[in-house]
Amino acid sequence: MSDLAPAPFGRRRLRVSDRRTEGPYVVLTAPDADGPPPRAGQFYMLAAVEGWGAGEDERPFLPRAFSVLHAGPAGLEFMLEDVGPGTSRLCGLAVGDQLWVLGPLGQGFTPPPVGARALLCGGGVGVAPLALWQDELERSQTPVSVVLGFRDAPHAQGAALLRAAQVATDDGSVGHHGLVTTLLDAELDADTAAVVYACGPPAMLEAVRERCLARGVPTQLALESGMACGYGACYGCVVPLAAGGYARVCVDGPVFAGELLPAGALLAAHGESA
Amino acid sequence: MSDLAPAPFGRRRLRVSDRRTEGPYVVLTAPDADGPPPRAGQFYMLAAVEGWGAGEDERPFLPRAFSVLHAGPAGLEFMLEDVGPGTSRLCGLAVGDQLWVLGPLGQGFTPPPVGARALLCGGGVGVAPLALWQDELERSQTPVSVVLGFRDAPHAQGAALLRAAQVATDDGSVGHHGLVTTLLDAELDADTAAVVYACGPPAMLEAVRERCLARGVPTQLALESGMACGYGACYGCVVPLAAGGYARVCVDGPVFAGELLPAGALLAAHGESA
Amino acid sequence: MISFCGLELAHPIINGSGTFDALAARRVFGDAVGGAFPFSAFVSKTITAEPRVGNAPPRLWETPAGMVNSIGLPNRGLLAYLEHDLPALARLPVPLITNVMGSSGEEVAELVGALDDRAEVAAVELNVSCPNVKTGLDIGADPVELLAFMTLVRPATTKPLIVKLTPNTADVARCAVAAQEGGADAVSLINTLRATAMAPGTDRPWLGGGTGGLSGPAIRAVALAQVAAVCRGVDIPVVGMGGVQSGHHAADLIAVGATLVAVGTENFRDPAVAAKIAEELAKNTQIAGL
Amino acid sequence: MISFCGLELAHPIINGSGTFDALAARRVFGDAVGGAFPFSAFVSKTITAEPRVGNAPPRLWETPAGMVNSIGLPNRGLLAYLEHDLPALARLPVPLITNVMGSSGEEVAELVGALDDRAEVAAVELNVSCPNVKTGLDIGADPVELLAFMTLVRPATTKPLIVKLTPNTADVARCAVAAQEGGADAVSLINTLRATAMAPGTDRPWLGGGTGGLSGPAIRAVALAQVAAVCRGVDIPVVGMGGVQSGHHAADLIAVGATLVAVGTENFRDPAVAAKIAEELAKNTQIAGL
Ligand SMILES: Cc1cc2nc3c(=O)[nH]c(=O)nc-3n(C[C@H](O)[C@H](O)[C@H](O)COP(=O)(O)OP(=O)(O)OC[C@H]3O[C@@H](n4cnc5c(N)ncnc54)[C@H](O)[C@@H]3O)c2cc1C
Ligand SMILES: Cc1cc2nc3c(=O)[nH]c(=O)nc-3n(C[C@H](O)[C@H](O)[C@H](O)COP(=O)(O)OP(=O)(O)OC[C@H]3O[C@@H](n4cnc5c(N)ncnc54)[C@H](O)[C@@H]3O)c2cc1C
Ligand SMILES: Cc1cc2nc3c(=O)[nH]c(=O)nc-3n(C[C@H](O)[C@H](O)[C@H](O)COP(=O)(O)O)c2cc1C
Ligand SMILES: Cc1cc2nc3c(=O)[nH]c(=O)nc-3n(C[C@H](O)[C@H](O)[C@H](O)COP(=O)(O)O)c2cc1C
Ligand code: FES
Ligand code: FES
């Protein structure tokens, strides 16, 4: 990351300049004059300036982590799924409303070795960091394939945020009927010279990690984890390492090589039993 | 109060149907199909359904007490002054937004004896309960005089909420330059056969109480107090009684005969030294 | 129906002492309160031997997701309670639990003895935990003192005795065990956490009583930890409370072992909330039961 | 300039141990952190004799206006701290306070002794209060044990010793007095309140560590009461903390007698907030001084 300017110290106010939806997902745009350009896989801690703390159970209190979906002259783009009080408040923002923003944070994706293609595998709102990664990879002319999984047809509209994606849905309403890992398997069966970049629900990441490990295909997994700070201060966001001990998802990740993670690690960090 | 139906048990949702301003004051209207008509001097506990708890210091948490300003076919009217996180949130409500409402609560004003006129004396946002009282008194053909005090000209626009009010301002920009109690004195000098109905800041109420006591003029003072519940549950809203002990402002008041209150009582309940 | 110390209750939701005045509520809301009485048992606010006027105002301070109160246990004293309040409270459609406090075991034994004669009282809760009054704190915070206290109070009644523990202690489970050893039929917790506030822009305390007790959602996670620790330590039933606002919160307390759940501060935001909580809880339990 | 245990500090705002990682912050934010370092002294997270990996995740639970953490004091152990962290931390533009914990007075005396040799360390804070680790709780919650502990630890260093008290006790002022009697140069409080949470819709605890500690605005009123009680009881300087988010909150702690104020959880919401708080406080003080 030494080629990138560090994040400004302290949270800053941005103004929402655009709000659109892709199926159930909300995409917010916020011009960011003071921040350096983010790398794909990096994230920001976001909070609404107004109305933060008045949702279900008197939450949210802490800021929330979001991958950057796109970044460019129009500003930073984030893709949000309403799953609780924090995302609900952010999804309710309108053009002109203000955001607290800290970032860009964390370690992003690194490109595949020359000759290998990038195989992007996303599930649900986990497609977000892959969109910016696709932008960057295509700019450097790296061959890219994209497989995405969604719950159903409405959610599958999120696939429009990437180009040329193969889609699977749990209910078969769009694309392949079944898991995205089936599409991934088919891609790897066809050509194993790839690095897999994955982001999505814990169970999907675990499945990707496992099968790529078995095939000897390197993976870069963009993890989620409950975060309080996003910049290494709280030690709350850890994921277990195969070598023992824990790593902070926010500063050591959120992108980790699959080999570094033990089986079940991705489930444990989310309070699900491994 | 036996002639009035009791308040519905449990808070209920009302929708803001109108929002207007009178100078710095906000007047909200909310149709209340399920509540009985309030008596002047009664109050409601209000909270915004959305966004309650996200203000300064992560407040408000508890509902807030507001006198009813007017009540009629259009609904309940409340007059608000933004003095902190609760009033700030309520002042920010727009038409269509929802309110939690409990009430009507407390004991309202009682009419003067036959032959005596009603002298209404209000300060700042304390004019609110006097407006409905003026409506009721004029309906029963009771002679009414109104003296109101405000900080300055913008606040004095609140006088428009009553009819035929004499106005005093602290800065002399409108009406009499000085305290409303000077207007009150002049009224009483002219004719002492009156009951004084007063609502306003603690220091004003204290001054009204003191001089009317000295003149032998009965007073009914509508008090404010920090309240958690508004229905007698928390014992938090008390005011000291001249006879010793304390009374709950929410259920024993908010209107008290001035004779019942000891000197300085009104200041103590607000954390000001007597 | 839930069994609790020999009482059969319609659901597990009761009120926290001092957070609902059933008589005042009936004056304000009329008979609707009786018909739709939200609690399955009613806990009266703390009664003392002599009348108390309570603390000087201000008595309330709002905090982030909570409040500090410094009420100071105002009440008309035992005699007025026996003469005036009990007959009126007996008209409630649910069993009555009378909460009492005193400055010594002997004093509380007398209070409890006086209630023992009265059929209106289904159970007695001992407030050994009120942070506003010195005695409450000290007795409840030390297992040895609490056991000695119970040795004096227990013989004074055959009615169920619930000990309301103080949360302002190093090891609440040990205090609960002492209460159980001393013959308590149940324990209840948590009472408020000792807290204070300054008058804005001054160096004086805001509350007339100087300090008070913190309650509401802010303390919910503390309450859950203390209730869980106590449930692990004792065999008698536990009444859990602290920041409960919903059926989910009640279900959490029950999951760690509470038999009943009390709602306190949330009553102030909505007097009828307990009925909603009881419904949500019943729905949760049905779903979990499938 | 504020004098604190012989240190001259630019302003009264420091960090709470474990709530700011100066080395990680420099990696994330670059040299900006050094230039605009928000704290007038830096308190390191708790160091133990042996390395600790910390608790299993999840480690965080958000509460109304606060959070419960169950981090479990991960650290690379004394040796790595001395070898790697100290030289890097010495490059900070402010004095360094090293926070340590151990399971006995002897163990802590050794830790403290090892730091005594190091010029980079301006003062040592003793964590006798962490609710996630048994030992911390017990030593700090009992005045008698705390005095015995201090008797072992005090001789191990001539550097200023700050005792970080546990709030999970019946009478924190008595514990502070014991620390003072045992030779503490200052006390700091409050640490987190013991708390827990259930995994939503289950009867299992959410936190990998089972229980954790509550921090943030939710506990501010409790912190103020405890700091006030301690300030009334001791003559040594007091570092007050708990839920501080603004200059007003810091001013309240100072009004009840604190010399320094530490910011903890609020750092998570904004890494640069302490600088803003110090400014607001300076403005308050100026206004009050007029
Ligand atoms: C690096 C990173 C990148 C991310 N990128 C995106 C993105 O691009 N788009 C997107 O939509 N999301 C993204 N997320 C996920 C997003 O941060 C979470 O969805 C969000 O924090 C949820 O907050 P909430 O308040 O809406 O829901 P919460 O109520 O916080 O619920 C979310 C989950 O947290 C747990 N939980 C429930 N209650 C609590 C509680 N009180 N305390 C702690 N945990 C609780 C449960 O497991 C629940 O399912 C990302 C996360 C990380 C770490
Ligand atoms: C019966 C009655 C009728 C009323 N009628 C009206 C009316 O018609 N219109 C109207 O505008 N107002 C009315 N009020 C006053 C209104 O209820 C208050 O202005 C309101 O509660 C303030 O809330 P807030 O959050 O805006 O301000 P707060 O922050 O609550 O500040 C208000 C005052 O409370 C104190 N305070 C500050 N912080 C705290 C805290 N954390 N906890 C407790 N107290 C604190 C201070 O003295 C401060 O000046 C009435 C009050 C009563 C009791
Ligand atoms: C205003 C107020 C008054 C209270 N009075 C009493 C009391 O008289 N006796 C008692 O044992 N507990 C009293 N309590 C404590 C509550 O019963 C309860 O234990 C505590 O508030 C925690 O629950 P909550 O967070 O749901 O309010 C009082 C609490 C409040 C907020
Ligand atoms: C995530 C987290 C980690 C903490 N780690 C430590 C620690 O290592 N040592 C310690 O003495 N206190 C630790 N604390 C306690 C804080 O230093 C502070 O005492 C407490 O959080 C109260 O302050 P606050 O409300 O401002 O956060 C930690 C607190 C949090 C929230
Ligand atoms: S989120 Fe705080 S250390 Fe990672
Ligand atoms: S506001 Fe609760 S008793 Fe009056």
Three-state SS sequence of B22-61: ECCEEEEEECCCCCCCCCCCCEEEEEECCCCCCCHHHCCC
Q: What percent of chain C has pLDDT over 70?
A: 96
Answer yes or no: is pLDDT of B107 > 50.
yes
- Residues 186 to 215 of D: which have CB under 8 A from any A CB? 199, 206, 208
User: Which single residue is written with the structure tokens 């289950």?
Assistant: D202
Interface of A with D (CB under 8 A): 5-11, 47, 53, 57-63, 100, 102, 105, 225-229, 231-240, 244-246, 248, 251, 268-271
Residue positions of D annotated with a catalytic role? 130
Q: A219 pairs with which residues across the strands? A: A196
CB pairs under 8 A between A and C: 6
| Structure tokens, A116 | 């290998």
Interface of A with B (CB under 8 A): 50-54, 58, 61
- Give the chains touching D; criterion: ≥3 Cβ pairs < 8 Å: A, B, C
- Give the chains touching C; criterion: ≥3 Cβ pairs < 8 Å: A, B, D
- Please name which of B203, B195, B197, B138 lies closest in space to residue B164, comparing C-alpha atoms: B138
Q: Exposure string (b/e) for A159-188, b if CB count within 10 Å is 16 or more?
A: bebbeebbbbbbeeebbbeebbbebbeebb
- Residues 222 to 281 of C: which have CB under 8 A from any D CB? 222, 224-226, 228, 243, 248, 252, 255-256
Sheet containing strand A12-15, edge to edge, reads: A12-15, A98-105, A43-48, A64-67
Q: How far is the CA of A237 from the centre of ligand 4 (A)?
A: 16
| CB-based contact B175:B154 (threshold 8 Å) | no
Between the alpha carbon of residue C93 and those of residues A209, B6, C85, C96, C98, the distances in Å are 61, 20, 15, 9, 15
Answer yes or no: is pLDDT of D131 > 50.
no
**Which phi and psi (to 5°) does residue A90 adopt?**
-65, -40
- Please name the member of D32, D58, D74 whose beta carbon is closest to the beta carbon of A271: D58
Sign of CA dihedral C221, C222, C224, C225: positive
Q: How far apart are alpha carbons C184 and A51 in whole angstroms?
A: 46
Ligand 4, CB within 6 Å, residue ranges: A 234, 236; D 16-19, 45-46, 69, 71, 73, 99, 127, 130, 164, 190-192, 215-216, 219, 241-244, 263-266
Answer yes or no: is pLDDT of B2 > 60.
no
Q: How far apart are alpha carbons B17 and B30 in whole angstroms?
A: 5
Q: Between chains, do B233 and C267 touch, taking CB under 8 Å as contact?
A: yes
For ligand 2, pick from B26, B67, B83, B256 the residue to mutate: most ligand atoms within 8 Å of CB: B83
| Chain D interface includes C290 (CB < 8 A) | no
Q: How far apart are alpha carbons B132 and C201 in whole angstroms?
A: 36
Q: Where are the beta strands (DSSP E) in D16-142?
A: 42-43, 60-63, 66-69, 96-100, 121-127
Q: Between chains, do C243 and D200 touch, taking CB under 8 Å as contact?
A: no
Which pLDDT does position D224 carry in this prediction?
A: 98
Between the alpha carbon of residue D226 and those of residues B161, C66, C132, D36, D254, the distances in Å are 48, 18, 14, 31, 13
Q: In the structure, what pLDDT confidence band is assigned to residue D135 with cuts at 50, 70 and 90?
A: very low
| Residue C140 C-alpha from the chain's centroid | 14
Q: In the structure, what pLDDT confidence band is assigned to residue D134 with cuts at 50, 70 and 90?
A: very low
Q: How far apart are alpha carbons D288 and D255 in whole angstroms?
A: 11
| Structure tokens, D268 | 């998570």
Mutate to test the interface with A, among B49, B57, B58 (most CBs of A within 10 A): B58
Query: Which ligand has the nearest atom to the CA of A80?
Result: 1
| Structure tokens, C84 | 């005036």
Ligand 2, CB within 6 Å, residue ranges: B 43, 60, 64-67, 79-81, 83-88, 125, 128, 224-227, 254, 270-271; C 60-62, 200
- Residues 214 to 243 of D: which have CB under 8 A from any B CB? 217
Q: How far apart are alpha carbons C257 and C12 in whole angstroms?
A: 12
Task: Tell me the pLDDT of chain B averaged across its residues.
Answer: 94
Between the alpha carbon of residue D91 and those of residues A113, D26, D27, D31, D36, the distances in Å are 38, 11, 14, 11, 14
| Structure tokens, C82 | 């026996």
Residues from chain C contacting residue B237 (CB–CB below 8 Å): 57, 59-60
Residues from chain D contacting residue A102 (CB–CB below 8 Å): 270-271
Which pLDDT does position D136 carry in this prediction?
A: 43
| Residue A274 C-alpha from the chain's centroid | 22
Which amino acid, one-letter code, is at C252?
A: D
Q: How far apart are alpha carbons B7 and D66 in whole angstroms?
A: 36
Chain A closest CA to C65's CA: distance in Å? Answer: 7
Residues from chain B contacting residue D65 (CB–CB below 8 Å): 58
Chain D closest CA to A191's CA: distance in Å? Answer: 37
Nearest CA in chain A to B50: A54
Q: Using the 8-state DSSP alphabet, how is residue C81 labeled?
A: I
Answer yes or no: is pLDDT of B265 > 80.
no
| Chain C interface includes D66 (CB < 8 A) | yes
User: Which single residue is written with the structure tokens 């790595």?
Assistant: D80
Give CA angle at B242 (B237, B247), nearest 5°: 25
Q: In the structure, what pLDDT confidence band is assigned to residue D31 with cuts at 50, 70 and 90?
A: confident
Which pLDDT does position B1 carry in this prediction?
A: 42
Which pLDDT does position B269 carry in this prediction?
A: 63
Residue C195 has a CB neighbour count (10 Å cut-off) of: 30
Q: Where are the beta strands (DSSP E) in D16-104?
A: 42-43, 60-63, 66-69, 96-100
For ligand 4, pick from D14, D15, D17 the residue to mutate: most ligand atoms within 8 Å of CB: D17
The DSSP H or E segment spanning B149 is strand B144-150
Residue C203 has a CB neighbour count (10 Å cut-off) of: 13
- Please name which of D61, D207, D57, D203 lies closest in space to residue A264, comparing C-alpha atoms: D57
Answer yes or no: is pLDDT of C151 > 70.
yes
State the greatest distance between any 2 C-alpha atoms of chain C, in Å, as a whole number.
Answer: 57
Residues 6+ apart with CB under 8 A from A110: A220, A255
Which pLDDT does position A148 carry in this prediction?
A: 98
Query: Which ligand has the nearest atom to the CA of A78?
Result: 1
Query: Which ligand has the nearest atom to the CA of A269?
Result: 1
Span C183-195, pLDDT tens digits: 999 999 999 999 9
Answer yes or no: is pLDDT of C285 > 50.
yes
Sheet containing strand D161-164, edge to edge, reads: D13-15, D260-263, D238-241, D186-189, D161-164, D121-127, D96-100, D42-43
Ligand 5, CB within 6 Å, residue ranges: A 227-230, 232-237, 248-250
| Structure tokens, B189 | 């000098």
Comparison of pLDDT for C67 and D35, the residue scoring more? C67
Nearest protein Cα to ligand 3, atom 17: C16
Give CA angle at D166 (C163, D192), nearest 5°: 90
Q: What DSSP assignment string belongs to C90-147?
A: TTSSS-EEEEE--SSHHHHHHHHHHHHT-TTEEEEEEE---TTSHHHHHHHH-HHHHH
For ligand 3, pick from C21, C192, C239, C266 the residue to mutate: most ligand atoms within 8 Å of CB: C192
Span A244-268, pLDDT tens digits: 999 999 999 999 999 999 988 777 6
Query: Which ligand has the nearest atom to the CA of B91?
Result: 2
Q: What DSSP assignment string belongs to D209-253?
A: TS-EEEESGGGHHHHHHHHHHHHHH-SS-EEEESS--SHHHHHHH
Q: How far is the CA of C287 from the centre of ligand 4 (A)?
A: 38
Which pLDDT does position C131 carry in this prediction?
A: 46
CB pairs under 8 A between B and C: 137
Q: B45 pairs with which residues across the strands? A: B65, B102
Answer yes or no: is pLDDT of B169 > 50.
yes
Q: How far is the CA of B228 from the centre of ligand 3 (A)?
A: 13
Span C222-240, pLDDT tens digits: 999 999 999 999 999 999 9
- Give the chains touching A; criterion: ≥3 Cβ pairs < 8 Å: B, C, D
Residue positions of C annotated with a catalytic role? 130
For chain A, list residues with pLDDT below 50.
1-2, 273-274
> How many CA atoms does the CB half-sphere of B168 hold within 13 Å?
19
Which pLDDT does position D137 carry in this prediction?
A: 54
Which amino acid, one-letter code, is at A260?
A: L
Chain B closest CA to A54's CA: distance in Å? Answer: 5
- Please name which of A242, A84, A270 lies closest in space to residue D207, comparing C-alpha atoms: A270
Residues from chain B contacting residue A54 (CB–CB below 8 Å): 50-54
Residues from chain D contacting residue C255 (CB–CB below 8 Å): 198, 202-203
Q: How far apart are alpha carbons C183 and C174 in whole angstroms?
A: 14
Query: Which ligand has the nearest atom to the CA of B87?
Result: 2
Which pLDDT does position A3 carry in this prediction?
A: 57
Task: Tell me the pLDDT of chain D averaged across its residues.
Answer: 94
Answer yes or no: is pLDDT of B75 > 80.
yes
Ligand 6, CB within 6 Å, residue ranges: B 227-230, 232-237, 248-250
Cis upstream peptide for C13 (omega within 30°): no
Q: Beta strand pairing status for B165-169 and B144-150? A: parallel
Q: How far is the CA of B226 from the centre of ligand 2 (A)?
A: 6
Pick the atom of ligand 4 nearest to D219's CA. 25
Residues 6+ apart with CB under 8 A from C246: A57, C277, C280
